[in-house]
């Protein structure tokens, strides 16, 4: 957090003795800087985040308290701002409410992944995945509609297409699930991956995430920008 008053005092500038016109110009410049800083954080999220973008943006807050401006972020956005270390997903998946136990006493779970082939991706790695996803969708083979139900037995939709056997990687085994909403239809693309006590732990290690670190960049920018504003308004 940048304390503007301390910066002024360090330069020998007393707010009580400055001209009214200078004070107005200074406050206007600080407010503009605060707003542009917030916009800059939003832009970084728009440019660098994909699936977490909306959660991050909804967690942001800008407060104008009258010459005091507070930009903050709460959960779940702070999770993507700060980042997190690599961790083993296996135990959590096998201890959750959807995990089951086989006849020989081994825990297992089937993990569903939803894919959105028509959502724009920003990062190079995400764009490569998106290309593969669209290619898989374009080559899927149609099958006779097959009901898919949730655990209560309720029909959730019908599997109407599946990836060809030649497809490997993220989209291998992908299916298209079609749902009817009156006269309209919508499609969901899913893959399912099994995990059990005997699964290789290396297959379920999450690589972690460095974090957007937009607030770190903003703090440095603010520090430099305040010095520039003081120089322009007060001449040093």
- In angstroms, the CA 232 to CA 235 distance is 5
Give the closest residue to 218 by CA, choosing from 7, 90, 37: 37
- In angstroms, the CA 81 to CA 77 distance is 6
- State the pLDDT at residue 22: 79
Q: Which domain holds residue 170?
A: 87-206
- Owner of token pair 């096998």: 94
21 lies in the same domain as 94: no
- State the pLDDT at residue 81: 95
219 lies in the same domain as 116: no
74 lies in the same domain as 95: no
129 lies in the same domain as 173: yes
- On whether the CB atoms of residues 78 and 67 are closer than 8 A, the answer is no
- State the pLDDT at residue 121: 64
119 lies in the same domain as 183: yes
User: In a 10 Å sphere around its CB, with 0-12 CB exposed, 13-18 middle and 19+ buried, how is residue 26 labelled?
Assistant: buried
- In angstroms, the CA 176 to CA 119 distance is 16
Domain total in the chain: 2
- On whether the CB atoms of residues 89 and 77 are closer than 8 A, the answer is no
- State the pLDDT at residue 68: 85
132 lies in the same domain as 151: yes
92 lies in the same domain as 134: yes
97 lies in the same domain as 201: yes
* Tokens found for residue 58: 């909804």
Query: Residue 1 belongs to what H/E stretch?
Result: none
Task: Assign 3-state DSSP to the chain and report helix, strand, coil percentages, each to 5.
Answer: 45, 25, 30
- State the pLDDT at residue 166: 92
- On whether the CB atoms of residues 50 and 126 are closer than 8 A, the answer is yes
How many CB atoms lie under 10 A from the CB of residue 171? 22
DSSP-derived letter for residue 209 is: B
Residues of the chain with pLDDT under 50: none
- In angstroms, the CA 159 to CA 47 distance is 34
125 lies in the same domain as 41: no
Model pTM score:
0.65
50 lies in the same domain as 122: no
- In angstroms, the CA 162 to CA 142 distance is 7
- In angstroms, the CA 11 to CA 9 distance is 5
98 lies in the same domain as 189: yes
107 lies in the same domain as 201: yes
* Tokens found for residue 5: 């008053």
**pLDDT tens-digit readout, 108-150:** 999 999 888 877 766 677 788 888 999 999 999 999 999 888 7
């Amino acid at each position: 957090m940048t304390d503007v008053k301390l910066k002024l005092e360090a330069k020998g500038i007393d707010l009580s003795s400055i001209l009214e016109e200078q004070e107005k110009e200074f406050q206007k410049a600080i407010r503009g800087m605060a707003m542009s800083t917030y916009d800059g954080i939003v832009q970084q999220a728009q440019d660098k985040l994909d699936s977490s973008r909306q959660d991050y943006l909804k967690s942001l807050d800008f407060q104008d308290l009258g010459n005091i401006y507070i930009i903050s972020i709460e959960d779940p956005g702070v999770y993507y701002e700060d980042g997190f270390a690599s961790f083993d997903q296996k135990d959590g998946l096998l201890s959750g409410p959807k995990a089951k136990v086989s006849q020989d006493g081994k825990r297992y779970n089937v993990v569903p992944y939803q894919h959105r082939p028509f959502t724009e991706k920003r990062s190079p790695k995400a764009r490569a995945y998106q290309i593969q996803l669209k290619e898989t969708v374009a080559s899927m083979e149609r099958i006779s509609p097959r009901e898919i139900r949730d655990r209560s037995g309720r029909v959730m939709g019908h599997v109407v297409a599946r990836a060809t056997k030649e497809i490997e990687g993220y989209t291998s085994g992908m299916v298209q699930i079609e749902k009817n909403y009156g006269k309209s239809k919508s499609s969901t693309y899913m893959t399912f991956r099994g995990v059990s006590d005997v699964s290789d732990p290396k297959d379920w290690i999450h690589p972690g995430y460095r974090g957007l670190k937009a607030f770190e960049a903003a703090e440095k920018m603010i520090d430099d920008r305040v010095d520039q504003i003081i120089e322009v308004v007060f001449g040093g």
